[in-house]
Every structure is written in structure tokens, then in C-alpha cells.
């Protein structure tokens, strides 16, 4: 065996150690990313449930928390029942006995 064969074997061993180190770092990186992805998926699911609750409300009866859709419906009912709107109109006085404004 010539000296060049021994040098080549040595360089192959050094390169193998380098590739082994890079492979281990890659596995650790994948493991870390996998853990982060699982954590983010759990958080995304929590936020989706929270968004669903905020949009639709939760519970029944008097203890129910209303959602955005129910509040929009209530606002729509109030707007429909308010009657005609007069713009640029300022009240001058208010009669407390009759409840009418002038």
C-alpha cells in the first residue's frame, strides 16, 4: 500500500466524521422543528376554538355569552326599530313632563 492510499483513507475518515456531525445536527434540527410545529398546532387549535366562541357565542339561556353574530343581530334590530333619522338636527329644549323635545 502506498503512502497516497493511506492519506486517502485518512481524508475519508476525516470527511466521514464531518458528515456524521452534520447528520447529527440535521436530526436535532428536525426534532426541534417537529416540537415547535406540534406546539404551534396546539396553539392554532386553541385560537380557532376561541374564534369560534367569539363568533357564535357559547352556552344557553341566561348564562350564555353572546357572540359577534348575536350582537350584530341585536344591533340590526335596534337600528330597524329606531325609526327615521334626522341629520343636522339639534335639540333646543326638552319638556320633562311630556317627554318631548323641541
User: What's the rounded Cα separation, in Å, for the pair 58 and 7?
Assistant: 74
The model carries a pTM of: 0.56
Distance in angstroms between the alpha carbons of the first and the last residue of the chain: 115
Please give the pLDDT value at position 84: 78
Instruction: Tell me the pLDDT tens digit for each residue of 14-49.
Output: 999 999 999 999 999 999 999 999 999 999 999 999
Contact indicator for 60, 69 with CB cutoff of 8 Å: no
Name the nearest CA neighbour of 68 among 54, 47, 80, 79: 54
Please give the pLDDT value at position 102: 66
Q: What is the mean pLDDT of residues 58-85?
A: 83
3-state secondary structure 18-65: HHHHHHHHHHHHHHHHHHHHHHHHHHHHHHHHHHHHHHHCECCHHHCE
Please give the pLDDT value at position 63: 72
Please give the pLDDT value at position 18: 95
Please give the pLDDT value at position 99: 74
CA distances from 26 to 21, 32, 35 (A): 9, 10, 14
Amino acid at each position: 500500500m502506498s503512502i497516497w492510499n493511506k492519506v486517502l483513507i485518512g481524508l475519508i475518515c476525516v470527511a466521514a466524521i464531518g458528515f456524521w456531525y452534520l447528520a447529527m445536527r440535521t436530526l436535532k434540527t428536525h426534532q426541534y422543528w417537529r416540537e415547535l410545529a406540534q406546539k404551534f398546532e396546539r396553539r392554532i387549535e386553541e385560537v380557532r376554538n376561541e374564534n369560534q366562541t367569539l363568533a357564535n357565542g357559547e352556552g344557553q339561556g341566561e348564562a350564555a355569552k353572546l357572540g359577534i353574530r348575536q350582537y350584530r343581530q341585536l344591533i340590526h334590530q335596534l337600528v330597524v326599530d329606531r325609526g327615521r333619522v334626522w341629520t343636522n338636527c339639534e335639540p333646543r329644549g326638552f319638556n320633562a313632563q311630556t317627554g318631548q323635545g323641541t
